[in-house]
Structure 1
Amino acid sequence: MKNDKIGSLLTFGGYDWRILDQQADAILLITETIIDQRAYHDAYEDITWADCALRNYLNGEFLHAFTNEDQARIIPVTNQNEDNHWYKTNGGVETEDRIFLLSLQEVACLYFGDSSSKLNNPGKNQRYWFERKDENNHKRLAKLHGKNGCWWWWLRSPGRVNLKAVYVHGTDGNIGIQGNNVLKGNISDGKCTGGVRPALWLKL
């Protein structure tokens, strides 16, 4: 595994993961496909990543489905949860996570090309969406596991208000900075369910 490079794929815990970064003896991974469809939270209420139902699921039921050996290789990390750049919505307190979602800043500026100039200097007509013609949008597209075509997936950052969370659009890879309803995708309501691409730091 030490020969794996940023951008390459590996299998871990029964999933295919893409390497996004490497620091010393650890690599940052994100699932290659959207592996699940879940709401960001289980109630329509103001929420941040620290207290949302999706974080609880990823660091609970999802994590514990890995073998003890695999769990021992997943490194706890402290995540800074920045405010929404455009709307100044509260990102919440920092969190210690073993499994997490990527943030707006990580997706827009670090791991899928550097589009920081567009994030930090939105055009006068940009109110809800990241630049539709951004050259890096296609890198953010992801297929829903076992299905044809791409689907939208959650980020951990807050949207325009804390009733929404930022997401990556499934048609063009554009980032919906206004966000989607945190309860959108509640299966019992028959709504479109948000995609989940877990990320983690893995010990080499």
Structure 2
Amino acid sequence: MLKDEVPQEKYSTTEAVLENENLISEELSENAGLTSEENEAEAGIESETSNAGNKVPEQILEKERDSTTPEKEGLSDNRGKEETKKIQKKNKYFLPIIGMLILLGITGFFVYNKSEYKVGKTIEFGNYPQDKDGTEKPIEWIVMKKEGNQVLLLSKYVLDAKPYNEEFEDVTWETSDIRQWLNNEFYTTAFNKTEKAKIQTSLIKNEDNSEYGTSGGNDTEDKVFLLSEKEAETLFSDEEERIAKATEYAEKSGVYVNKEKVAWWWLRSPGYHGHHAAVVNKYGWVDRDGSCVSIYSGGVRPALHLNLQS
């Protein structure tokens, strides 16, 4: 009677119950087979969906890290290396270029010096009184000779009036008063410290008078000197080139001049006798007879050797 009271459509038969249990068991088995990563991925998908596409900061950073691939990192490194190579290349050529510029400057300087000290040219070096009132002006010098880095200079004008020697007596260049004056008073007055450093101490050959054989005395070492009769003959091409005018200061000091302001000037060589010294007269001739050493009207044309490397 109990069977009749329970409707068959509401309750499963034993077979149906067993079938449902089997289905549930299969689903559980399939879920149990998923890995933890897959479950997390599913959870992530659900999280992203639930947040309407908004990503949390951790996810953004993770994706940025993922977007920086090894290939991109390698590209950045290569660019850095290229920039470093460019800088190194520039530095590699920097010092040689500076060296070349310095060398060109030095070369230009010496080329300029060579042209400036060409034989026959006039240069300015030192200062000495030249006006009547004693005003100092740059001394003009003629380049008479050039040997290597040394040039022989001779003053363009007669700069002063001095006797060859104060006393009328036999004298040589070595013992003369004019030599002492040139290497002391004149040297000190005319040149500053820098200019003095450029003036070379020269070995001076004092030969005998070529016509009379008068002794020229011992050789000397001088900063400033007078030309010899031989130098006066060979360094000028003719008499006209030997002619020299005097400065106003020299004229005021007592040098003898003609109406063209031309003066005669002393040479260091002896004259026909020991108490005479050779001269260049107002016509430009080399006078080996010479003039009396104690005459005060004789003109002075200093000479010196300049060292171009100093």
Instruction: Map residues 165-204 of structure 1 onto 2, 5 A cutoff.
Output: 165-170=277-282, 172-185=283-296, 193-204=297-308
Q: Provide runs of 4+ in structure 1 moved above 6 Å.
A: none
* CA distance in structure 2 between the partners assigned to 1:196 and 1:107 by the alignment: 14
Could you say which residue in structure 2 is the equivalent of 1:60? 184
The residue matched to 1:58 in structure 2 has which SS?
Answer: helix
Q: Which one has the bigger helix percentage? A: 2
Q: What is the TM-score with the length of structure 2 in the denominator? A: 0.55
Structure 1 residue 64, shift from structure 2 partner: 1.3
Per-residue CA deviations over 1:77-117 (Å, capped at 9, x if unaligned) read 10110000111000000000110000000011x2112xxxx
Q: Which one has the bigger strand percentage? A: 1
Could you say which residue in structure 2 is the equivalent of 1:106? 231
* CA distance in structure 2 between the partners assigned to 1:201 and 1:155 by the alignment: 16
Instruction: Tell me the amino acid that sits aligned with residue 124 of structure 2.
Output: T
Could you say which residue in structure 2 is the equivalent of 1:22? 146
Could you say which residue in structure 1 is the equivalent of 2:246? 144
Instruction: Tell me the amino acid that sits aligned with residue 70 of structure 1.
Output: E
The residue matched to 1:11 in structure 2 has which SS?
Answer: strand
Could you say which residue in structure 2 is the equivalent of 1:126? none
Instruction: Tell me the amino acid that sits aligned with residue 143 of structure 1.
Output: K
Per-residue CA deviations over 1:127-174 (Å, capped at 9, x if unaligned) read xxxxxxxxx11111000113642110000000000100000111x111
Instruction: Tell me the amino acid that sits aligned with residue 3 of structure 1.
Output: S
Match of residue 155, structure 2, among 17, 31, 35: 31
Instruction: Map residues 39-118 of structure 1 onto 2, 5 A cutoff.
Output: 39-65=163-189, 66-108=191-233, 110-113=234-237
* CA distance in structure 2 between the partners assigned to 1:42 and 1:184 by the alignment: 8
* CA distance in structure 1 between the partners assigned to 2:235 and 2:213 by the alignment: 23
Unmatched segments (≥5 aa) in structure 2:
1-112, 128-138, 252-259
Per-residue CA deviations over 1:40-88 (Å, capped at 9, x if unaligned) read 0010000000010000000011111211111110000101100001110
Residues paired across the two proteins, number: 173
The residue matched to 2:241 in structure 1 has which SS?
Answer: helix
Could you say which residue in structure 2 is the equivalent of 1:160? 272
* CA distance in structure 1 between the partners assigned to 2:274 and 2:240 by the alignment: 27
Residue 9 (structure 1) aligned with residue 133 (structure 2): no
Q: Identify which of structures 1 and 2 has the higher relative contact order when contacts are C-alpha pairs closer than 8 Å and 6+ apart.
A: 1
* CA distance in structure 1 between the partners assigned to 2:119 and 2:168 by the alignment: 38
Q: What is the TM-score with the length of structure 1 in the denominator? A: 0.83
The residue matched to 1:112 in structure 2 has which SS?
Answer: coil
The residue matched to 2:151 in structure 1 has which SS?
Answer: strand
The residue matched to 1:69 in structure 2 has which SS?
Answer: helix
Instruction: Tell me the amino acid that sits aligned with residue 247 of structure 2.
Output: H
